[in-house]
Amino acid sequence: MDEGDGDLATFFHYLGVAAKQAAPRYRTPLPHLTPEYLQGLPTFTRRFFEQLYTRLKRPALLILDNYQEVPLDSLFHQTVALGVEALPEKINVIVMSRALPPPAFTRLQATRQIHFIDEEALRLTNEESRAIIRLHARAQTAKVAALAAVLHNRLQGWVAGLVLQLEQKAASLPDLSSTSETPQVIFEYLAREVLHRLSPEHQRFLLQTAFLPNIPPALAERLTRNVMADDILFNLYQSRYFTERKMGTDPVYQYHPLFREFLRAHAKVALSPDEIAATQRTAASLLEETDRFEEAVALYYEAGQLEQIVRLILSRAPMLLQQGRTQTLEGWLKLIPAEQYDQQPWLSYWLGACRMPIDPVESQDLFARAFERFKAQNDRAGMLMACAGVLSSILISWLDFRKLDRWIAIMLDVVSSDVSFPSPEIESQVTFSLLNALMWRCPRASVITPWIDRSKNLIEGVQGIEKHSTLVAGLVILLLWLEQIASADKYARLLKSAGESESTQPLTRLVYHANASMLAWFCGDPAQTVHHGEQGLEISQKTGVHVFDSTMLGVCAYGALFQGDVISAEQYLNRLGILVAHPDHMMRANFLYQQAWVHRIKGDLSRAWTLIQEGLEVKGLKGSPFPEAHLSYAAADLLHALGKTMEARQYLNRVEKIAQDMESPYVRYVAHLLKAFFAFDHENEVEARAILQQALAIGNQHGFTFIYWWMPDMMARLCAQALEAKIEVEYVQKLIRTTKLTPVGEAATNEAWPWPIKIYTLGRFEIHLDGKPLPPRRKAPYQVLKLLKAIVALGGDGVPVSRLIDALWPDAEGDTGQENLHKSLQRLRRFLAVDGLIQARDGKVSLNRQMCWVDAMAFQTLLSGADDSKHRQTQPDARIRRDEQAIALYRGPFLEDDGAHEWADHYRQRLRHQFEQAVQHVSDWKKTEGQEEAALTCLENGLEADPLAEPLYPRLIRFLHSLDRQSEAKKVLARYQKAVIMAGREPSTEMQRLAKNVSART
């Protein structure tokens, strides 16, 4: 261990290198601690050690030596504690330190997961000292006993001190016993004895190699130019001259830390400053050649070679950032005086890159300073990278996106979309940052399309798409915002195989699920939206990569809200609120918007409006078109619901302006939908339908389904109006099916609604499943269909079981009728194969009106609404329209082929009577309006539908008489007479009198 291990990314990097050497059969390297893991450091640590332990052949031992070198305030100690907690059987850890265990180890000690061998336990007893002396000195027992007592008291059981003294053959026992210095002084005394015993050439060798932390013989030979380096080191090790040897592919030697410290101090006396500096430079250069850059930087700094550190920073910074070792890189950068940053702006750039994950606000300033210096030096590559850095820092901070505007303008001024870049890496980084900035602040198709095309060119055909996962993510979301759903799906699929593989880097997997969730929403699949969001949250929990948590929680909340699942939405939002607590966080605006949506669904309009107002005040929201459009749309809806028409109109105007500025079909679509809804509410039906026509034409063209701020009742009402007016019927029906809208109000009578099942009973008996007539092979047994007809005839809703049994099994005794009904209901359910259609509870049977349309029931619903007295007085035209809709549904008598059944005949007569009244009412109204031919046609069509609608005959005959159309009146009379004869009925008294009058007239 050394101070460098205080940078956890460096520790994990070198531990991963060691694991590769220990277990070369594993090709996949252990992960680097890159910035995306920092929020979930404990999770990353556990997973890293778990993977490490699975690679080690057991039994195994992990030794952490010189642990005291790690700074006490470093997170390294908590990291090691987590690694110890994850230890499996037959793998142990030994920590060797000259300091007490850090506080992070307290819990491990309390749970006895570690055992602490303290200073007292390590001290030699008198007997142990005597035994060690006997092994080394082979002296007489009496002499050893006397010496042991003296040394034991003086060294206080210090093992290393005793061994160091005994191993130096030149130090006689009497001399040692007379020494009365401290252990440190004793060590320095012994080290001097060792040094003086060597030749000047070997002394110089020791002094030079002391600048190397550990010493491969080949490196020592090049540093000292001594061809005997290997032999010298081996002899030092064999003579126990404070030299250790570590065996591997090649042996590596290491001086005892106190001995190395002594040698470096002695070098300052024995060597001139120029010689020391030259040795340090050479040693640093050699260390650099063997990729030991941290040690090289330390020596360059000691030698005053700052220019060499700058060179190393500029060459190694990208690699260090890729490995997540920002703390190490930042440590190097802080060695450089401030004045050199003015001369070399890349220093400011790389310092900004180090600070961005930790403090993106500070990194903005560093990148901005770098940009100005690059600009002064006319360094175009530097300008591009620094500008991209500023944009990325602003985006990562999620604070005040208004700052993006200046840097977007600067970037577009520096580079056009068709210009070449200094390198593919610069092109990718610049394109990604600019694309994301434009998405938030300037998502106009005319501005952003060239950069979309450049992104596509960068992505397509590239090997290892995971490296461009963030660019893919930005592109997919932008394409969705621009309503290019098919194109977004194409690029999202590029990450599918990698995103669904557990061996892929967590960041790539999270990007895939974030994209997939957004895509699922735009395709109208909220269940998949939640599924992918949950998958992302599960990955973040397992891997410790939490950078997408707010995104995943947000999409899960959206998916829940689209499905009307308020409870789940609130649970997601409770977790999200903690992550976006900062009042200026852009994601907080989205959070407040979703909270307001929840309260809107609950009906708490005042609370929802308060939250939307708070969201609109989030700094930086103004000028971020897409989110501002969302909140303005919500504000317009809420104010309209609160009766504040003028204020609602102002916010709707803002949405329309954003749609125009963005050139966004989606925002124009939702604005028109809301505008049409307002017009319908204000009874401006002609205007409302014209606006609705525009909205649905856009929706059909782009395949829109769900919209933000999804209000099912509003959309169901608009869809019903569209179907009634025959506006984009196929698209509207598909929209209803996709979003699983259920009919409300008048929509429940609309035949064009895409009902799962439709039952026709007026003039025919047919069953349509998903809009198609039941195929012949699906013919049901007579009794099953008879049960369905009876349910309809007896009202279709809450039909008592007893009435059904009496109607269908009047002679059944005991429980037989009940059993027959139960079996028939089961067969009917299987036959129709629509879950939830037939409902039986509390002794009553019903048809689910949200899933099933029955012409007879719709007919009655329309007429009952038309008969409402208030409705009749305030909206006479609306009443006539409903009557006409009902008349259109009546295509003949109810189940006219089932006349033998009392239950069918009773309902048939009731429906016929209602039909006759409706036809007369519409005919009279048209006559009053001067539409005489239309009035006649209404009566004639009524008789065409039901020739036994007797009250219509005299009305039609008299009407024809009043128009002096006697021959036509006579034909109507003949028609009546034929109808009653065919039905086996006698003409009514009224019609007999009327027949005489007709004969008299002719």
Query: CA–CA separation, 402 vs 407, rounded Å?
Result: 10
DSSP letters for 173-214: HHHHHH----HHHHHHHHHHHHHHHS-HHHHHHHHHHTTSSS
Q: Where are the beta strands (DSSP E) in 394-447?
A: none
SS3 of 444, please?
A: coil
Instruction: Provide mean pLDDT across the span 616-625.
Output: 86
pLDDT of residue 419: 67
Q: What's the pLDDT tens digit per position in 762-818?
A: 999 999 998 888 876 556 678 889 999 999 999 999 999 999 999 999 888 878 989
Q: In what order do the strands lie in the sheet with 852-854?
A: 772-773, 766-769, 757-760, 852-854
The token duo for 214 is 């550990």
pLDDT of residue 141: 62
Query: CA–CA separation, 863 vs 881, rounded Å?
Result: 10
| Amino acid residing at 468 | H
- Residue pair 355/385 in contact (Cβ under 8 Å)? The answer is no
Distance of CA 927 to the CA centre of its chain: 63
Sign of CA dihedral 223, 226, 228, 232: negative
Give residue limits of the domains in the chain. 3-122, 136-145+152-173+180-303, 772-852
pLDDT of residue 171: 45
Greater pLDDT, 117 or 660:
660
Distance of CA 274 to the CA centre of its chain: 60
pLDDT at 529 over 70: yes
Q: What's the pLDDT tens digit per position in 22-61?
A: 888 888 888 888 888 888 888 888 888 988 999 988 898 9
Q: Which residues of 538-558 are buried (b: 16+ CB within 10 A; e: fewer)?
A: ebbeebbbbbbbbbbbbbbbb
Residue 198 to residues 204, 208, 584, 753: CA-CA distances in angstroms? 10, 14, 70, 102
pLDDT at 907 over 80: yes
Query: CA–CA separation, 879 vs 870, rounded Å?
Result: 10
pLDDT at 544 over 90: no
The token duo for 853 is 């349309």
Residue 832 to residues 367, 736, 788, 828, 847: CA-CA distances in angstroms? 67, 21, 10, 6, 12
SS3 of 94, please?
A: strand
Instruction: Provide mean pLDDT across the span 364-382.
Output: 95
Most trustworthy range by pLDDT among 184-198, 519-533, 589-603: 589-603
SS3 of 799, please?
A: strand
pTM of the predicted protein model: 0.81
SS3 of 990, please?
A: helix
Residues in a beta bridge with 245: 253
SS3 of 751, please?
A: coil
Most trustworthy range by pLDDT among 495-499, 814-818, 937-941: 937-941
Query: CA–CA separation, 221 vs 229, rounded Å?
Result: 5
pLDDT at 370 over 90: yes
Query: CA–CA separation, 526 vs 617, rounded Å?
Result: 29
CA atoms within 13 A on the CB side of 155: 32
CA proximity to 373, closest of 401, 338, 397: 338
Q: What's the pLDDT tens digit per position in 281-322?
A: 999 999 999 999 999 999 999 999 999 999 999 999 999 998
pLDDT of residue 369: 97
Main-chain phi, psi angles of 178, to 5 degrees: -90, -10
| Amino acid residing at 139 | A
pLDDT of residue 167: 61
pLDDT category of residue 139 using cuts at 50, 70 and 90: low
The Cβ of residue 296 has, within 10 Å, a number of other Cβ atoms equal to 25
DSSP letters for 352-407: HHHHTTT-HHHHHHHHHHHHHHHHHTT-HHHHHHHHHHHHHHHHHHTB-GGGHHHH
Q: Output the CA torsion 803→808→812→814 (10° steps).
A: -40
pLDDT at 490 over 80: yes
Query: CA–CA separation, 216 vs 31, rounded Å?
Result: 28
pLDDT of residue 484: 84
The token duo for 644 is 């504040």
pLDDT category of residue 173 using cuts at 50, 70 and 90: very low
pLDDT category of residue 113 using cuts at 50, 70 and 90: confident
844-847 and 243-246 strand pairing:
unpaired
Long-range CB contacts (within 8 A, 24+) of 986-993: 988/950, 990/954, 991/950, 991/953, 991/954
pLDDT category of residue 415 using cuts at 50, 70 and 90: confident
Long-range CB contacts (within 8 A, 24+) of 200-204: 201/226, 202/232, 203/270
pLDDT category of residue 871 using cuts at 50, 70 and 90: very low
The token duo for 818 is 């009940």
Query: CA–CA separation, 294 vs 329, rounded Å?
Result: 9
- Residue pair 231/220 in contact (Cβ under 8 Å)? The answer is no
Query: CA–CA separation, 144 vs 136, rounded Å?
Result: 10
pLDDT of residue 462: 65
Residues in a beta bridge with 841: 844
The Cβ of residue 95 has, within 10 Å, a number of other Cβ atoms equal to 18
pLDDT of residue 170: 40
Length of the chain in terms of residues written: 1002
pLDDT category of residue 513 using cuts at 50, 70 and 90: very high
Q: In what order do the strands lie in the sheet with 844-847?
A: 799-800, 844-847, 838-841
Rounded to 10°, the helix 685-702/665-681 angle is: 160
- Residue pair 171/179 in contact (Cβ under 8 Å)? The answer is no
CA proximity to 583, closest of 537, 610, 536, 621: 621
- Residue pair 280/211 in contact (Cβ under 8 Å)? The answer is yes
Lowest mean pLDDT segment, chosen from 87-101, 336-350, 354-368, 909-923: 87-101
- Residue pair 216/250 in contact (Cβ under 8 Å)? The answer is yes
Domain 136-145+152-173+180-303 and domain 772-852 have a common topology: yes
Q: What average pLDDT does the chain have?
A: 87
H or E element, residue 246: strand 243-246
- Residue pair 844/799 in contact (Cβ under 8 Å)? The answer is yes
pLDDT category of residue 123 using cuts at 50, 70 and 90: confident
Q: Which residues of 600-617 are buried (b: 16+ CB within 10 A; e: fewer)?
A: bbeeebeebbbbbebbbe
CATH fold of 772-852 reads: Arc Repressor Mutant, subunit A (1.10.10)
CATH fold of 136-145+152-173+180-303 reads: Arc Repressor Mutant, subunit A (1.10.10)
- What value, to the nearest 5°, has the Cα angle with vertex 29 and ends 25 and 32? 160
Instruction: Provide mean pLDDT across the span 425-438.
Output: 88
Q: What's the pLDDT tens digit per position in 646-667?
A: 999 999 999 999 999 888 899 9
Distance of CA 235 to the CA centre of its chain: 62
Q: What's the pLDDT tens digit per position in 669-690?
A: 999 999 999 999 998 999 999 9
Query: CA–CA separation, 743 vs 477, rounded Å?
Result: 32
- Residue pair 621/632 in contact (Cβ under 8 Å)? The answer is no
pLDDT at 181 over 70: no
Query: CA–CA separation, 611 vs 617, rounded Å?
Result: 10
Query: CA–CA separation, 204 vs 280, rounded Å?
Result: 14
Query: CA–CA separation, 611 vs 550, rounded Å?
Result: 19
CA proximity to 914, closest of 857, 854, 859, 976: 859
CA atoms within 13 A on the CB side of 931: 11
Query: CA–CA separation, 865 vs 871, rounded Å?
Result: 8
Lowest mean pLDDT segment, chosen from 255-269, 342-356, 580-594: 255-269
Phi-psi region of 215 (alpha: psi -120 to 50; beta: other; left: phi over 0): beta
The Cβ of residue 779 has, within 10 Å, a number of other Cβ atoms equal to 11
pLDDT of residue 142: 64
| Amino acid residing at 420 | S
CA proximity to 212, closest of 260, 276, 246, 267: 260
